[in-house]
Structure 1
Amino acid sequence: MRSLAITLAIALAGVSAVPAAAQDAAAQDNTPQGTTIIVRPPLTEDERKQELREFTKQIVRPPRMRHPVAKFFYPICPQVLGLAPEEAEAIVERIRENARALSVGANTDPACLPTVKVAFMAPAAGPSDRWLTADSAQLAHLAIYERERVLAETGPVRAWNRVLMRDFNGEPIEVGRMIFIEPYNRNDPIVTTEITGAAVLIAREAAEGFTLAQLADYITMRALIGTGAPLSEEGVPARTILTLFDEPDPPAEMTLFDRSLVAEIYNASRNSSPRRVYNDIARAAAESERITGAEPEAPKR
C-alpha cells in the first residue's frame, strides 16, 4: 500500500509539473495573441534561381531595348583621389585584383589613362545632393535619362558609366544614326555597348568605419557594371556589398552573389541578350550556394 501511494504521488507530481512548464513557456512567448505564424518550406532550386534573377534585374541598370548589358572591353585603369596616398593605393590595388579575378583585366602601367575614377568628397563639397546638377560638365556626355538616374540617387554615393554603342562590325554608332544590319541570332542584340569610363563619388565622412577592402569591393561593383544600391526596405534575397551604406552589418567583402554577377557578365559574349545574362547569373549564384553549402539568408528588415 505504501509503495502504491508513493507511485501515485510521483505520478500526480508529474502531471502537475506539465501545466507549470507550459505556463512558464507561455510567459516567455512574446507572440501577441491572435498572431498567425506561417512556416514556409525552403525554395526549390528553380524558385531560388528565379528569385536571384529578379534580384539581378533590380540592381543592374537596365540597358536600352535590344542592347546588351554594358561592360568594359579593355583592362581598366583605376584612380582614387581624396584619401591619403597609401590608402588610395591600397584601394586601387584591390580594385585591380578584383578586375583580374573577374575576367575584366587591369592595366598596371603607372602612366595609364584612368578609366575608373573615384573621388572621396570632403565635407567642404557639401551634401551629396549638391555635388551634381543637370548642367554639371561631368554628366554632359550622358543621355537625359541617364543623367536623371544619377541625380535621383540617394545616399552618400553617386556613380555613373560612360557607354559607347558599337554596331555589329565594332564601329561606334553616332547618336541618331540608323543601322540596318540583320542579327545572326534573333535572341541576341545586333549592337554592343562598351563602358569606356566610370566615375564613383563617395562622401568621405560616410566612408569612415569601413575597411579599405569593403570600399574597394563596393567601388568595383559600382564601376565595372552599371549598378545601383538594391532596395532594402523589405530585405534582399542575397548578401551583396552593394548594401554597404544601407545595412547595419554589411558584408566584409564581395559576396558569392557579387562575384557571380560580375563574372557572368564579363564571361558572356559582347552581344549576349540581357535575358540570357540574367539567367546565367542566377544559375551561377545558385550553384555557388549549393557547392559551398551556403544557406540563402533571410531578408533583413
Structure 2
Amino acid sequence: MRRIAGLVLALSLAAPVAAQEVPLRTTPEIIVRPPPTEAERHRELREFTRTVIRPPRLHQPVAKFAFPVCVTVLGLAPQDAAVIAERIRANAEALGVGADRSPTCVPTVRVAFMAPAAGPPESWLSSESPQLAHLAGYQKERVLGEAGPVRAWNRIAVRDALGNAFRPQLGDQQRFPTYTEIQPLSASDPIVTTEITGAAVLISREAAQGFTLGQLADYATLRVLLGTGAVEGDAPAPTMLTLFTAPAPPAELTDFDKAMVRELYDASFAASARRVYNDIARAAVASERSGAGGKQAP
C-alpha cells in the first residue's frame, strides 16, 4: 500500500499544472480617428483624380471637347436608347459641355451596347481594329488592357495656340517625330492644346442588366466627356465610375463626378493637368464640407 501511495504521489507531482483560464475579451477594441483635415482630404481627392482622369502625354493639357457633343446610342430598343441619349445630352448641358440637338448632327459621342453574340469584351477589339486605327500605341494599350465589361476611348486632336491642326512630321532620320515650331503669342500662351473630337463606349448588354437607364447614361457620360478608365479598388469618394465594380454603386452622378467634369470644362485649354486636378479636388472638398456629399444608391 505504501508503494502504491508513493507512486500516486509521484505521478501527481510529475503531472503538469493546469493553465489558469483567462477570460476572453469580449469588448472589441475601438480606435477613434479624427476626420481628415481639409488639406488632407484635398490631397487625397487630388491623387484619386490623377488616377481617374488619364494624365496627358508630354505635359500637354488634359483633353476635352471644344464643341457641344452630338450623341447616338446603339444596341438597345429605340425607346431605351433615346432615354439614355437624352440623359447624356442633359448631363453635358448641365455640366458646361453643351449638346448638339440637331437631328442631322454628326455623332461625336457613340455609346454601343454589345449583344452576347459579339462575344466577351476581350474579343471585341484588337490592335488591328479599324476603330482604334487613329489611336497612338499607348492609347491602344489602355483600351485593350481594360478589364471588365466596358471598352472606351477618345479621339484626341493636338492643336496649336490658335486652334490649327498640329500634326507630327517625320524628321530627317525617319525615326523620331518632330513638330513644326510654333511661336506662342506670349509667354503665358500654350504651345499646344488637346481636344477630344470623338468618343466611344462599348458596354456589355449582359453586364448592363439590373441597372437603371439613368445609371448607364451617367456612367457613359463620364467615360465620353473625360479621358478616364474604370476605377479599381476602393474609391475614396463616391463615383459612378464604380458602376460595374461596387456592391452598391451610386444611383446617379455624384458631386465628385460633377466636380470632375465642371472643373475640367471651366478651365482654359491652356490649364495644366496639375491645376485641373487641384481645382477638381478643391470643388469636391467644398461640396463635402457644405454637407452635400455624394449620393449613394440605397
Category of TM-score, reference length = shorter chain: 0.7 to 0.9
Identify the residue that residue 141 of structure 2 maps to in structure 1.
Answer: 148
SS of aligned partner of 2:290: helix
| 2:198 equivalent to 1:197 | yes
Percent identity reads 59
SS of aligned partner of 2:103: coil
Are the equivalent residues in 2 in contact too, given 1:289–1:296 (CA < 8 A)? no
Unaligned runs of 5+ in 1: 1-22
Give per-residue Cα distances to partners, 1:190-232, cap 9 Å, x unaligned: 2111100000000000000000000000000000010111221
Match of residue 101, structure 1, among 85, 88, 94: 94
Post-superposition, which runs of at least 4 consecutive aligned residues in structure 1 deviate over 3 A?
Answer: 36-39, 182-186, 293-297
TM-score calculated relative to the size of structure 1: 0.84
CA distance in 2, matches of 1:182, 1:295: 41
CA distance in 1, matches of 2:262, 2:197: 18
- After superposition, residues 154-173 of structure 1 pair within 5 angstroms as 154-173=147-166
CA distance in 2, matches of 1:163, 1:205: 30
Match of residue 181, structure 1, among 173, 180, 183: 183
CA distance in 2, matches of 1:168, 1:291: 38
Greater percentage in helix: 1
Identify the residue that residue 264 of structure 1 maps to in structure 2.
Answer: 263
Identify the residue that residue 53 of structure 2 maps to in structure 1.
Answer: 60
Are the equivalent residues in 2 in contact too, given 1:120–1:203 (CA < 8 A)? yes
Identify the residue that residue 211 of structure 1 maps to in structure 2.
Answer: 212
SS of aligned partner of 2:251: coil
CA distance in 2, matches of 1:296, 1:255: 5
Rate the CA distance shift 1:39–1:65 in 2: closer, same or farther, 3 A. farther
| 2:46 equivalent to 1:44 | no
Identify the residue that residue 71 of structure 1 maps to in structure 2.
Answer: 64
SS of aligned partner of 1:160: strand
* 1:248 CA displacement: 1.0
CA distance in 2, matches of 1:71, 1:295: 24
* 1:290 CA displacement: 1.0
Rate the CA distance shift 1:95–1:37 in 2: closer, same or farther, 3 A. same
Q: Which moved more, 1:40-49 or 1:171-180?
A: 171-180
CA distance in 2, matches of 1:143, 1:134: 10
Rate the CA distance shift 1:219–1:212 in 2: closer, same or farther, 3 A. same
Letter of the 1:103 counterpart: G
Identify the residue that residue 226 of structure 1 maps to in structure 2.
Answer: 227
* 1:296 CA displacement: 11
CA distance in 1, matches of 2:101, 2:136: 31
CA distance in 2, matches of 1:292, 1:165: 40
Identify the residue that residue 112 of structure 2 maps to in structure 1.
Answer: 119
Letter of the 2:214 counterpart: A
Rate the CA distance shift 1:269–1:295 in 2: closer, same or farther, 3 A. closer
- After superposition, residues 24-43 of structure 1 pair within 5 angstroms as 26-27=25-26, 29=27, 31=28, 38-43=31-36
Unaligned runs of 5+ in 2: 1-22, 170-178
Are the equivalent residues in 1 in contact too, given 2:251–2:295 (CA < 8 A)? no
CA distance in 2, matches of 1:169, 1:136: 33
CA distance in 1, matches of 2:83, 2:235: 29
Q: Which has the larger radius of gyration?
A: 2
Are the equivalent residues in 1 in contact too, given 2:252–2:295 (CA < 8 A)? no
Letter of the 1:129 counterpart: E
Identify the residue that residue 20 of structure 2 maps to in structure 1.
Answer: none
CA distance in 2, matches of 1:185, 1:91: 44
Are the equivalent residues in 2 in contact too, given 1:167–1:190 (CA < 8 A)? yes
| 2:78 equivalent to 1:85 | yes
CA distance in 2, matches of 1:227, 1:181: 31
SS of aligned partner of 2:268: coil
CA distance in 2, matches of 1:279, 1:209: 35
